[in-house]
Amino acid sequence: MLNIVIFGAPGSGKGTQSEKLVARYGLQHVSTGEILRDEIEAITELGKLADSYMSKGELVPDCIVIDMLDSLIEKKKHVKGFIFDGFPRTVPQGEALSKMLSKHEEDVNAVISLEVEDEELIDRLLKRGQISGRSDDNRETIEARLKVYYRQTSPLKEFYKERGILKEIDGIGTVDDIFRTIEKEIDQLIK
Protein backbone atom coordinates (compact mmCIF):
# COMPACT_ATOMS: atom_id res chain seq x y z
CA MET A 1 0.00 0.00 0.00
CA LEU A 2 1.06 3.59 -0.60
CA ASN A 3 -0.40 5.97 1.98
CA ILE A 4 0.06 9.68 1.43
CA VAL A 5 -1.12 12.52 3.63
CA ILE A 6 -1.63 15.76 1.74
CA PHE A 7 -1.19 18.46 4.32
CA GLY A 8 -1.50 22.24 4.50
CA ALA A 9 -3.52 25.22 5.60
CA PRO A 10 -7.04 25.88 4.25
CA GLY A 11 -6.72 26.88 0.60
CA SER A 12 -3.20 25.48 0.17
CA GLY A 13 -4.37 23.21 -2.67
CA LYS A 14 -4.85 19.85 -0.91
CA GLY A 15 -8.07 18.99 -2.77
CA THR A 16 -6.75 20.21 -6.13
CA GLN A 17 -3.53 18.18 -5.88
CA SER A 18 -5.38 15.13 -4.49
CA GLU A 19 -7.42 14.90 -7.70
CA LYS A 20 -4.22 14.76 -9.74
CA LEU A 21 -2.68 12.19 -7.38
CA VAL A 22 -5.73 9.95 -7.77
CA ALA A 23 -5.46 10.13 -11.55
CA ARG A 24 -1.69 9.44 -11.53
CA TYR A 25 -1.37 6.72 -8.85
CA GLY A 26 -4.89 5.21 -8.59
CA LEU A 27 -5.10 5.78 -4.84
CA GLN A 28 -8.29 6.10 -2.81
CA HIS A 29 -9.00 9.77 -1.99
CA VAL A 30 -10.26 10.36 1.55
CA SER A 31 -11.33 13.94 2.24
CA THR A 32 -12.84 14.32 5.71
CA GLY A 33 -14.14 17.78 4.75
CA GLU A 34 -16.02 16.32 1.75
CA ILE A 35 -17.45 13.44 3.81
CA LEU A 36 -18.67 15.89 6.45
CA ARG A 37 -20.17 18.26 3.83
CA ASP A 38 -22.08 15.29 2.33
CA GLU A 39 -23.46 14.52 5.81
CA ILE A 40 -24.54 18.16 6.20
CA GLU A 41 -26.28 18.08 2.83
CA ALA A 42 -28.07 14.85 3.74
CA ILE A 43 -29.16 16.49 7.06
CA THR A 44 -27.99 13.48 9.12
CA GLU A 45 -27.37 13.68 12.88
CA LEU A 46 -23.61 13.66 12.17
CA GLY A 47 -24.12 16.41 9.59
CA LYS A 48 -26.04 18.62 12.03
CA LEU A 49 -23.32 18.18 14.64
CA ALA A 50 -20.49 18.76 12.14
CA ASP A 51 -22.16 21.91 10.80
CA SER A 52 -22.18 23.47 14.27
CA TYR A 53 -18.34 23.34 14.21
CA MET A 54 -17.59 23.81 10.51
CA SER A 55 -19.71 26.94 10.10
CA LYS A 56 -17.52 28.59 12.77
CA GLY A 57 -14.27 27.33 11.26
CA GLU A 58 -13.63 25.02 14.21
CA LEU A 59 -12.55 21.40 14.06
CA VAL A 60 -15.09 18.64 14.48
CA PRO A 61 -14.09 16.70 17.66
CA ASP A 62 -11.35 14.10 17.23
CA CYS A 63 -13.44 11.13 18.44
CA ILE A 64 -16.04 11.74 15.69
CA VAL A 65 -13.61 12.02 12.77
CA ILE A 66 -11.40 9.19 14.04
CA ASP A 67 -14.40 6.78 14.22
CA MET A 68 -15.46 7.92 10.75
CA LEU A 69 -12.00 7.20 9.33
CA ASP A 70 -11.62 3.89 11.11
CA SER A 71 -14.75 2.43 9.51
CA LEU A 72 -13.82 3.86 6.10
CA ILE A 73 -10.34 2.27 6.17
CA GLU A 74 -11.89 -1.07 7.18
CA LYS A 75 -14.32 -0.88 4.24
CA LYS A 76 -11.62 0.06 1.72
CA LYS A 77 -8.75 -2.05 3.00
CA HIS A 78 -8.18 -3.72 -0.39
CA VAL A 79 -7.30 -0.50 -2.26
CA LYS A 80 -3.75 0.25 -3.54
CA GLY A 81 -3.37 2.97 -0.95
CA PHE A 82 -4.93 6.17 0.37
CA ILE A 83 -4.56 9.89 -0.07
CA PHE A 84 -5.64 11.45 3.20
CA ASP A 85 -6.76 15.03 2.53
CA GLY A 86 -7.66 17.12 5.60
CA PHE A 87 -6.90 14.24 7.96
CA PRO A 88 -5.07 14.13 10.33
CA ARG A 89 -5.65 17.63 11.67
CA THR A 90 -4.45 17.19 15.26
CA VAL A 91 -1.65 15.17 16.85
CA PRO A 92 -4.17 12.70 18.40
CA GLN A 93 -5.61 12.18 14.88
CA GLY A 94 -2.07 11.54 13.59
CA GLU A 95 -1.48 8.94 16.29
CA ALA A 96 -4.87 7.36 15.58
CA LEU A 97 -4.15 7.15 11.83
CA SER A 98 -0.94 5.18 12.42
CA LYS A 99 -2.80 2.88 14.78
CA MET A 100 -5.62 2.27 12.25
CA LEU A 101 -3.15 1.51 9.46
CA SER A 102 -1.01 -0.71 11.70
CA LYS A 103 -3.96 -3.12 11.96
CA HIS A 104 -3.17 -3.86 8.30
CA GLU A 105 0.61 -3.73 8.85
CA GLU A 106 0.73 -0.35 7.08
CA ASP A 107 1.64 3.22 8.01
CA VAL A 108 1.78 6.67 6.42
CA ASN A 109 4.59 6.65 3.82
CA ALA A 110 4.87 10.39 3.16
CA VAL A 111 3.33 13.67 4.24
CA ILE A 112 3.30 16.27 1.48
CA SER A 113 2.99 19.68 3.10
CA LEU A 114 1.94 22.49 0.75
CA GLU A 115 3.51 25.74 1.92
CA VAL A 116 1.53 28.88 1.02
CA GLU A 117 1.54 32.25 2.78
CA ASP A 118 -1.60 33.54 4.49
CA GLU A 119 -2.26 36.41 2.10
CA GLU A 120 -2.47 34.02 -0.87
CA LEU A 121 -4.60 31.53 1.12
CA ILE A 122 -7.13 34.23 2.02
CA ASP A 123 -7.18 35.48 -1.55
CA ARG A 124 -7.83 31.98 -2.98
CA LEU A 125 -10.58 31.19 -0.48
CA LEU A 126 -12.35 34.54 -0.89
CA LYS A 127 -12.32 34.02 -4.66
CA ARG A 128 -13.70 30.49 -4.28
CA GLY A 129 -16.32 31.79 -1.83
CA GLN A 130 -17.80 34.00 -4.55
CA ILE A 131 -18.75 30.92 -6.59
CA SER A 132 -18.63 27.82 -4.39
CA GLY A 133 -21.40 28.47 -1.90
CA ARG A 134 -19.19 26.93 0.82
CA SER A 135 -20.47 28.43 4.05
CA ASP A 136 -16.94 28.63 5.52
CA ASP A 137 -15.43 30.61 2.61
CA ASN A 138 -16.11 34.10 4.05
CA ARG A 139 -13.47 36.38 5.58
CA GLU A 140 -14.46 35.87 9.22
CA THR A 141 -14.55 32.06 9.00
CA ILE A 142 -11.41 31.92 6.84
CA GLU A 143 -9.53 33.84 9.54
CA ALA A 144 -10.88 31.47 12.21
CA ARG A 145 -9.84 28.43 10.10
CA LEU A 146 -6.31 29.82 9.75
CA LYS A 147 -6.02 30.37 13.52
CA VAL A 148 -7.19 26.80 14.11
CA TYR A 149 -4.66 25.56 11.56
CA TYR A 150 -1.71 27.26 13.30
CA ARG A 151 -2.86 26.31 16.80
CA GLN A 152 -4.12 22.73 16.35
CA THR A 153 -2.93 21.37 13.01
CA SER A 154 0.54 22.77 12.30
CA PRO A 155 2.12 20.89 15.30
CA LEU A 156 1.65 17.78 13.14
CA LYS A 157 4.52 19.00 10.96
CA GLU A 158 6.95 18.42 13.83
CA PHE A 159 5.23 15.09 14.55
CA TYR A 160 5.94 13.88 11.00
CA LYS A 161 9.35 15.58 10.75
CA GLU A 162 10.49 13.50 13.73
CA ARG A 163 9.35 10.41 11.83
CA GLY A 164 11.37 11.49 8.79
CA ILE A 165 8.46 11.49 6.34
CA LEU A 166 7.59 15.20 6.03
CA LYS A 167 8.12 16.69 2.54
CA GLU A 168 7.65 20.46 2.46
CA ILE A 169 6.71 21.72 -0.99
CA ASP A 170 6.26 25.26 -2.32
CA GLY A 171 2.50 25.50 -2.89
CA ILE A 172 2.70 28.69 -4.95
CA GLY A 173 2.83 28.44 -8.71
CA THR A 174 0.75 26.68 -11.30
CA VAL A 175 -1.18 23.58 -10.28
CA ASP A 176 0.80 21.51 -12.81
CA ASP A 177 4.22 22.75 -11.64
CA ILE A 178 3.34 21.99 -8.01
CA PHE A 179 2.10 18.56 -9.03
CA ARG A 180 5.37 17.80 -10.85
CA THR A 181 7.31 18.48 -7.62
CA ILE A 182 4.95 16.20 -5.64
CA GLU A 183 5.25 13.54 -8.33
CA LYS A 184 9.06 13.56 -8.03
CA GLU A 185 8.83 12.97 -4.27
CA ILE A 186 6.38 10.10 -4.66
CA ASP A 187 8.21 8.49 -7.55
CA GLN A 188 11.36 8.41 -5.44
CA LEU A 189 9.39 6.70 -2.70
CA ILE A 190 8.05 3.92 -4.91
CA LYS A 191 11.25 3.39 -6.93
Please indicate whether residue 134 is annotated as part of the active site. yes
Strand 28-31 to 81-85 pairing: parallel
Query: Closest CB to ligand AP5 among 145 and 167?
Result: 145
Please indicate whether residue 24 is annotated as part of the active site. no
**Distances 162 to 66, 95, 143, 155 between C-alpha atoms, Å:** 22, 13, 29, 11
Query: Closest CB to ligand AP5 among 65 and 166?
Result: 65
What's the min distance (Å) between Cβ of 51 and ligand AP5?
9
| Cross-strand partners of 170 | 115
> Rounded to the nearest 5°, which phi and psi values hold at 124?
-60, -45
Catalytic choice (145, 151, 167, 184):
145
What's the min distance (Å) between Cβ of 92 and ligand AP5?
10
Query: Closest CB to ligand AP5 among 20 and 77?
Result: 20
**Distances 58 to 11, 70, 136 between C-alpha atoms, Å:** 15, 21, 10
What's the min distance (Å) between Cβ of 167 and ligand AP5?
16
Please indicate whether residue 89 is annotated as part of the active site. yes
Known catalytic residues are: 14, 89, 128, 134, 145
